[in-house]
Amino acid sequence: MAAHETDQTEPMAQAAQGYLNDRLVALAALGALLFHPLFVGLFDAPVLVMGIPLLFLYLFGVWVLLIIALAVTTETAPPATIERDDIGSGSF
């Protein structure tokens, strides 16, 4: 029974890691897009929002949202299945 369980959790964990991989890449792509000068330029106006320049509000706002998204994505992912010993010792 126990063996049966590990057989099933292993691929599931791997699949979950695959999702994590895809989501992080997607976030990086989104970040690259939002920080692209063309996109940033849209918010480049001499306007103060609550006393803060729109440009800075946009840049720092997107930045912090990206970090929150990264945190949520990695922290909700299942723990990695790699054992420390397996990689630390040169895996011969």
Partner 1 sequence: MLPGWLIVVTSFGYLSLLFAIAYFADRRGRQGHPVVNNPTVYALSIAVYCTAWTFYGSVGRAVSSGAGFLPIYLGPTLMFALGWVVIRKILRISKVHRTTSIADFIASRYGKSHLLGGLVTIIAVVGIMPYIALQLKAVASSFTVVLHYPDLSGAAAVTSLSPLRDTALWVAALMAAFSILFGTRHIDATEHHQGMVLAIAFESVVKLVAFTAVGLFVTYGIFDGFGDLFTQAAADPRIAPLLTLAPAGNDWLPLTGLAMITMVCLPRQFQVTVVENVEESHLNKAIWLFPLYLFLINVFVLPIAFAGLLRFPLGTVDHDMFVLALPMAEASPGLALLAFVGGLSAATGMVIVETVALSTMLCNDLVMPMLLRFAWLHLAEHKDLSGLLLTIRRTAIIIILAMGYLFFRFIGESYALVAIGLMSFAAAAQFGPAIIGGIYWKGGSRRGALAGISAGFLVWIYTLLLPSFARSDWLPMSFIESGPWGIELLKPYALLGLTGFSSVSHSLIWSLFFNVAIFVGVSLLDRQSTIERIQAALFVDIFRHAGSSTSTGLLHGRVSIGDLRAMAERFLGRDRARDAFSEYARRRGRNIEPGGQADGELVQFVERRLSGAIGAASARVMIASTVKGEGVGFEEIMQILDETSQVLEYSRQLEQKSRELEKASGDLKAANARLTELDRMKDDFLSTVTHELRTPLTSIRSFSEILHDSPDLELGERQQFLTIIIRESERLTRLINQVLDLSRIESGRMKWVMTEVDLVEVVEHAVASMRHLFEEKQVGLKVFKPEVVPMVRADRDQLIQLVINLLSNAQKFVPSGTGEVAVEVTCGRNTLLVSVADNGPGIPYHEQDKIFERFHQVRSGKTGNPLGSGLGLAICRGIVEHLGGRLWVESTPGYGATFFFSLPVIGAEAHA
- Dihedral angle computed from the Cα positions of residues 70, 75, 76 and 80, in that order, rounded to the nearest 10 degrees: 110
Q: How far is the CB of 48 from partner 1 (least distance, A)?
A: 6
Question: Which C-beta is closer to partner 1: that of 12 or that of 68?
Answer: 68
Q: Enumerate residues 6+ apart whose C-beta is below 8 A from 33.
A: 39
State which amino acid sits at residue 18.
G
Interface positions with partner 1 (CB under 8 A): 20-21, 24-25, 27-28, 31-32, 35-37, 40-41, 44, 46, 48, 50-53, 55-56, 59-60, 63-64, 66-68, 70-71, 74-75, 77, 79-80, 82, 84, 86-92
